[in-house]
Amino acid sequence: QVQLVESGGGVVQPGRSLRLSCAASGFTFSSYGLHWVRQAPGKGLEWVAVISYDGSNEYYADSVKGRFTISRDNSKNTLYLQMNSLRAEDTAVYYCAKDRSGDYVLVSWGQGTLVTVSS
């Protein structure tokens, strides 16, 4: 079955960088778009970024545009999120999620990794 396993979260100071990874298995990785969605403590879901199946297209939420970069390595079945210039408001659990068919319906989710931005 589909498995998505995030890693790379932790405590980081404001202004610093962090890279998240999401290791995927159980499906043809190179055939699906992938997303990052975050959830601040006690809050709702916020879509962060998406990358197309072949990595040729990326889109970002306005709140992270210019600071975060989504990427993928189809040879390693791994999705990444490079987060630069981190702010306190970026504190959240970050989920990677598999797209159904390019329509932003998120059919499979990882367990998430917690990023805490604090001095």
- How many residues does this entry show for the chain? 119
Residue number with CB closer to another protein (18 or 97): 97
**CB of 117 vs another protein, minimal distance in Å:** 21
**Measured distance CA(28)–CA(37) in Å, rounded:** 21
**CB of 95 vs another protein, minimal distance in Å:** 6
Residue number with CB closer to another protein (17 or 57): 57
Beta bridge partners of 19: 82
**Among candidate residues 38, 3, 30, 28, the one with its CA nearest the CA of residue 109:** 3
Binding site for another protein (CB under 8 A): 37, 44-47, 50, 59-61, 95, 100, 103-107, 109-112
**Measured distance CA(65)–CA(55) in Å, rounded:** 17
Residue number with CB closer to another protein (17 or 54): 54
**CB of 63 vs another protein, minimal distance in Å:** 10
**Measured distance CA(23)–CA(6) in Å, rounded:** 6
